[in-house]
Amino acid sequence: MSLVDLTVDGAVALVRLNRPPVNALSEELSVELGEAFDRCADPEIRAVVVTGQPHFAAGADIKGFQAAYDSGVDEKLAGALLGTVAKLESLEKPTIAAIHGYALGGGLELAMGCDFRYLAVDAKVGQPEILLGIIPGAGGTQRLPRIVGYQRAKEIVFSGRQVDAEEAERIGLADRVAPTEELLDLALADAGRWAAGPTRALAAAKRALNDGWGHVMGQALMVEAGAFQDCFWTDDAKEGVAAFIEKRKAEFTGR
């Protein structure tokens, strides 16, 4: 049985975790996710939704940690997931995590690799690794402060507590909150709208935002200028300018 299901409808890809009962993130699941994200790099795919039910991903497979203790082998236990989240984050198209149930530990780290996080009203997220005597190892201590702010991220990581959907929306960790039965349809509909947009301009904006973060202003502006130049001569840019002048709706093709 495949641990990841990938389906494509038009220009929108749906990546669904499939490791019952809670989509615990084993090394095998992380590798299959990475392979799915490689396929999502196809330029014909212009937006991606990542989901899992009844839980997005309830964290890492702790049995793998115990196996490492038993064997005494010093493995890079977060390595597969770390690389997989990096692949997701670098996809040059909009991505949405549709979160049902729990997204804890590596599950939240995976979700933070997406551009947007949509939560079901009963969803809960968090970085509970500290309760095991460890810390997040696939980007949690680095991406969470960039999303919710340094001090709030420190409290969430130090406490290991679970954050409900209402609080997640209030602090910017959730971009939208919806009834459980409506969540996936909402995410797919919004992904469809992103997919109809100027994909290469969206990719350039994403690259400028991601790569410019943390640089001094002069360096960040150079990143932005390069990204602007990358999209200025695209077919979509020419179409957008022509549509503006002709007072009509632009028809973007992603080229």
The set of catalytic residues is 109, 129
Task: Return the number of other C-beta atoms located less than 10 Å from residue 11's C-beta.
Answer: 19
In what helix (H) or strand (E) does residue 12 lie, and over which residues does it extend?
A: strand 12-17
User: In the 8-state DSSP scheme, what is residue 25?
Assistant: B
Burial of 181-216, coded b for 16+ CB within 10 Å and e otherwise, reads eebbebbbebbbebbbbbbbbbbbbbbbeebbeeee
Contact (Cβ atoms closer than 8 angstroms) between residue 80 and residue 31: yes
Burial of 109-143, coded b for 16+ CB within 10 Å and e otherwise, reads bbbbbbbbbbbbeebbbbbbbeeeeeebbbbbbeb
Contact (Cβ atoms closer than 8 angstroms) between residue 88 and residue 119: no
Contact (Cβ atoms closer than 8 angstroms) between residue 50 and residue 37: no
Residue with tokens 């095991």: 132
